[in-house]
Each structure stands twice: as C-alpha cells, then as structure tokens.
Structure 1
Amino acid sequence: IGLIGMIQSLFRHTSELRAIEFGHRFPRHGLHLLNFITHQLVLDNNNVIRPNFVPGRGDWGFVSYSNSEGVLPPLQDQNRQGYYSVGNLNPQISYSPIMSPKAMTQGIQKANRDRVVVRTSPNSPLLEALYITQHYPLGNHYDPQNTWQISPALLGEIRNLLSNGVDSLSVFLYIANYDGSSMNFNNYCYYTGPDININLVEEASGKQPPTDYTAVNKRVTLSNSNNHIECFEILLEVKATNKGYARIRWSNIPDRLLDKGVQVNVCEEDGKCFTSPIDKRSYGTYDTSEYLNKGLSPRLQFKETKYEMMRGPTYDDTDRKLPVDIKGYDASLQLYTKDGYASARLIIKNTFSDWKNKFGNSWVGFYSDHNKGNKYYDTHQWATKFHHEGKFGQYNMYVYCSNMAIRPEAQARFFLHKEYVSIAITIPWER
C-alpha cells in the first residue's frame, strides 16, 4: 500500500494484471505501453532497474508529472527526485511510439487514458519505482483506485517472455487476458466482427506492438459478396531518398483493391497530399519531390473518391532514434532531418553549465555513409556554434542544420577535440 493509501497494491506477477481495467480492450493501450517500456529496461539480480532511456530528457514522450493529486507517494527529496509520465497518444509528443497514427483519431483519443509513471533522480541512472495508472473517463486527473506499483519481479517476468518466442507481446497479452476480440481481429487473423464490404477496410491498428521502427505492417481484412474473409499484411512507410526527399514504400496491396483503383499518397500534417501513382503494383517505391520532414505520412486512398482506407506511421524527423550519450558528460547527440538536410541536436543538461568551455574544441561531423572513416566527413560544425533551440525540462537543446542531404546510412559523430576520436556516434539512418 502506498504512503497515503492510494496505490492499490504492488503487482508481482503477470497474472495479477488480469483483474484490472488497465489497457485490456482496444483502443486502450496500457498493456502495450507497459510491455514496450519494460523491454527498454535492464534488471540485475538485486532488482535494480536501469533504463536505456532518460525520462527527464523526454525520451519516448516522457513528461514531468507533479503528482499534485497525491495519487503517488510524496517525494522524499523534492530537489533530487521526480515523477515522469508516458503514454499520451497526442501526435505532438515527439518520441511517442506506442500506437500507430490511426489510433490518434478523434474517436480513439477518448480512450487515451493509460499511463506509465516512473520515479527517478536526475543524477541517477536508475529507476526507483514504476507505476501504471489511468485518467478518469472524463478529465485529466489520475484515478487513485486504478493506480498500481509494478515490482521488479513482474518486470522481469515480462522481459523473460522473450524466451518463449519472437512475438513476446502476444504471449504477454494472452497471459494478461487482453480482449483480442475488441480489435475485431485476433492474433491469427480470423475476422470476428460484423460483415464488411470490400470497399471498406478494417484496420487492427491496436494489435500493432509499440516499436521504434518506422515501418509498421497494417493487418486488414476484406470480404466479398459471399462473406469470404481474407487477411493481408499491408506495409506503408515513408523513407529517405539519397537526395533528402521523401520516398514512399508499399507492399502486399491486394489485387482486389488495385482493381478498384487505389493510390498511395504522402500527406503533410495539415492534410495537403502529394499523389504517388502505384500503377497497379502490389509493392514498390516512389520517390517524391517533397523534402523529408517530420509529419509526413503515407496513405492508401481510392483515386476517385479520395476515401482513405488506411494510414501508415507518421514520419518522425529523428528516424525514431533516441539521442546517444556523449561519454563522460551530461550531454547527448541526436541526428534529425529538416527540409531534407542532415541536422544535429546537442542536448545539454542544465547542470552542465560550463559545457561551452568543456566543448570549446569539440565538433560534430556529418557522414553520408556510416562506413566512412572519421577523417572523411562530408561537412562539420563546431559544438559552440550550434544555435539554442529551446529548453525541455532539465535540458537545453542546441541545433545545427548542415548542407548535406539526409539519406540512408547517414550518421553524425561527436568529437571532443580536433583529433579524429569520436565519443558519440548516432545510429545510421534507415533505408
């Protein structure tokens, strides 16, 4: 029981999740969220929890939580501890990978209630505690009767499901008694909902596990006049060309849809779309003349009516990659794209006040191919010449946009001195 009697219990086994409401029906996403966060943790034999993300930096959309309602135990040290919450499906959250953009429509936003909250200290690499909670059906306050602490033992159980097969999410959802029928589509792709016409597509976006990959398969069902059901795994995604433009990739579009006349478009957040002909091909790519930017999304639409059947994941300007730590310093480096150009972001912790002195001779190199040696950068910039972008929680953001086009295999590297010894290397941009 929590210090003020609000936390209902400490869950130690996956089976205990069966009896609660948290994320058990689509479009609720709590169990998916818990599974995702758990697999970003490392646990040792002493039940010490080490995350591979930094909540205070905003990784995965974590935001500071004040605990003003007193749902969680009071912090013992207000200056050294903090609560951070994640799970908001709002598309404005930069790093939120929990659900596909389809789950962010107006109707599903009403079910945007589930959250994971962690307690940590700014100067500690450990998580002190992890909780699951939910908002009241109406309002923004957490429900104390639906707030539980998750023990390291339970986190370990979820992580160990990896040994039971590749699709550990399905195993976890089964054990936690997730209602698969709420998605009108079960794990084996048997349709369980009402009859639908071929002109309509049901998308089981809620089945998609949280992922940091930009490519997400959408499982859809089609029926004909005899109500014969077929299942297809359709992939839609936005990637980068070698010149910094948006490339659309699609695969496994059914012939029956192609015969009806469909096209794959890339659209901006304001709804402006750029048509990409697919020429009755079930798979392929199309290079657009649109600069690669955050917010682009691929959409499968009928040519004549513009009816949108499904939408792929919205492109993230960081290629959904977390910042990489600059070894030995309270700072990190992140590669992103702006108007098709390779850009870098230096994320400096507020307590690292003398960073410009420490990084006086430091620089960031941009590489069009991650296989290039350190000396063979395409362009570079000194760290002290990065421009201040703003403040995010305990961090200040400094950015620089290079003149190198973003492209597959592109990479940024941080060098402490003029010598060619890198101390931070970003993950290569995906093809």
Structure 2
Amino acid sequence: MYKLIYFLLIPVFLIGKPLTVADAINCAKTGNKDILIERKALTEKRLELVKSITNYLPSVNLSGSWGKNGTDQPYNSVLDSSYSAGVSLSQPIFNYNLLENINASNIDKVKEELSFKVLVRTVEINTITKFYSVMAFKSKLKAAEFLLASSKENFNMVEQKYKLGSADRSEFLKAKVDYLNARINYNTLKSQLNVAKNDLFSYIGLNADTFELVDDVKMDSISLPDADSLKSKLVKYDPEILSARLNLQYIVSSLRRAVSSFLPTVNWNISYSTRLDSFPKLSNWKNGDSWSTSISLSLPLFNSGGRAIEIAEGKVSYQKAKLSYAKKLDERMDDLMSQISELRTSYISYQSAKSADELAEENYNINNLLYRKGSISQIEYYDAKRGYEEAEANLIKAKYSLLTNKLKLDIMIGSWKGD
C-alpha cells in the first residue's frame, strides 16, 4: 500500500524538481491505461479463484409454503389452512473435480499476474527508450548550441576580414553557410527535443513544463555481466518463461480433471421440516416435524467413451505444452544472449567514442585557435570542426545506447530495483 501511495504522490512531490529515469518509470506504471485495464483483469481472476473455493462450501436452502383446502359436504363446507417450512444443507465431502477447479483458477490468477508483469516490463522498456531519446536530444542540442556560437563567432571574424579586404568572398560565403547550417541544425534539434519530450511525458502522464530530466546513472558504474550467472536469474524471474511453465501446469490440471470424471463424488445431506395443519391451530405442530440425514455416493460407470477421449486429448495437450515450454526457454535464452551481446557492443562503442571525442575536441580547439591566427586554411578548420561534430554525435549515440541496453538487461533478469 505504501508503494502505491508513493507512486500516486510522485507527480506532487516532483513538481519543479529533477525527474530521473526511475521516477519516470514509476509514474508510467501508475498512469498507463493498459496497466490500469490489466489491473482490473487481475482483480477478475482473483474473484474467480474465490468463487471456485466457495463451490466446496455447504449450500443451505430454506423452503416454506402456505395453502388452503376446501371441501363441500352435504349441509356443510370445510375450509382448512396448512403451513409447512423446512431447511436443508448439502456439503461436498469428496469431489476431485471441484478441487481441480480451485487449482485451475489459482493457475489462471498467477498467469494473469505474469501477464501483468510482462505488460509492466514493456512499459518500463518503452519509458527507458523514450527517456534516453530525450536525453540524447538534450545532449545534441547542447553540442549544437556550442557549435552555433563558435560558427557565429567565426562568421563575425571572417565578415570583418572580408570588409577590410583581408578575406576573399569565397571564404566569407563558406563561413556564412556554415553559420546558417549550424543555426538550422540547432533549431531542428530543438524542435525534435520538444517532440520527444511531449511523447515521453504523454506516455508517463505528467506535465512536460514542470520537470527537468536528469541522468543519474553513473557511466563508470556500468560493467559487463557474466552470461552464465544471468541464465539462472532469467529462468527464475522472466515472466514469459514463468507463464509458459504455468501453462504446462494448467494442462496437467486439466488432465487431472479429465481423470477425475472416473472418480466417485460423496455428499453429506441433512434436512429438517415442519408442517402445521388447520392453521392457526397449534395442536398438530409437533406431529408435523421431520428430519433426515444421509451420505450419498455417485460413481460414474460409462459415458459413451467421451471421458476416455478427453484423457487422450489431455495427454496430447500435455506433450504439446512441454514442447512449447522448451521452445520458449530456448527463445528467451537466445534473447538474453542477444541482449548481453548488444550491451557488450555498446560498452565497447562507448569507450571508443569517448576517446575519439576527447581527441576530436582537442584537435578542434587547436585548429580553431590556429585558424583565428591565420596559421591554417579555412578547409583545415572545417575538417576539424566536422570531425568534432561527428565524434560528439557518435559519443551521444553510444552513451544512451549503452544506458538503454543496460537497463533492458536489468529488467529482463529481474535485477532492476526501480520499483
């Protein structure tokens, strides 16, 4: 309950405060409409389980009647009233089919819980993807802002030289085109950032104008996992594997229910009734009392072979479910290895991009100073500038690809503790 209250109050407490990826995921899990619908479906399954349990409880019935009887005799008419009431109770003592219905309803409930977890995992991954898409655009916009300021400064310098005659028109036009392209790139990224932010905040159900996204994941804390240690976690926590395993258990329960059609059922019955004739006279009240108790047994013998066919169908379904479970296990293991491979690739790409960006930034700063002093040509300056732009774009892409792949893997194996 305290977690639910925390999630509901997140939008209140975070107004004007930074919003981390964990906060965004928690908000999405309370405001996403698919999750709200799935919660209702889960409640239905829980009620069905309770209903299946009540079928094994006793049933009590109360009955009553009142009537008038009239007869015509010579010189006399007789009009009598009568009243009767009774109560009966029936309690199942042994009914294997009812027990299996309870087991099947419980499996259905757990399957619905796992479906809910699959949906939550999808919402978490979508939120992570959208969140880091916004963060990537923010980083790109910051880099574009720096390059726009640099291009503007360079253009102003070349424009002054052109007016003084120390720079030709070609150099002036190149500087102007570079400045205009930098401004266009900046405005384009700004627009793309707004679109990405609106998409994210619409998905998690918050107002984009009242929050500032922050990246609280430290890049130095990310390490490459060991594949063997993650396989056991996947089998234990992955909702798709657990769902396939539960489906196998459900088929086994259905098979047991088919077998139970050959078993007897035993019920205990008890009833009490009273009758009063010539109402409202009470003289015959006690004489109308009656009660009974019995234990009944019903043993099915033959049903046109239908029950045997149901058992045969159940055995085939069981073999099919076993193959489906093995297939799902192999598929999820392949997904795990692919996710680990993507994480390792993005980790290596990030390390390389980080080194390349540091070198490209240093090279750009050196060439920028040299160009302003007139020591190098405009072409050499623009080559350094383009190299830095590409390195910065590659670093941003590699960084958020690594963060996304890391959190996707954590969610897959149940290691992410954001909830």
TM-score normalised by structure 2 residue count = 0.20
Question: Which protein has the larger Cα radius of gyration, Structure 1 or Structure 2?
Answer: 2
Q: Which has the higher strand share?
A: 1
Using structure 1 for the length normalisation, give the TM-score: 0.20
Higher-helix-fraction structure? 2
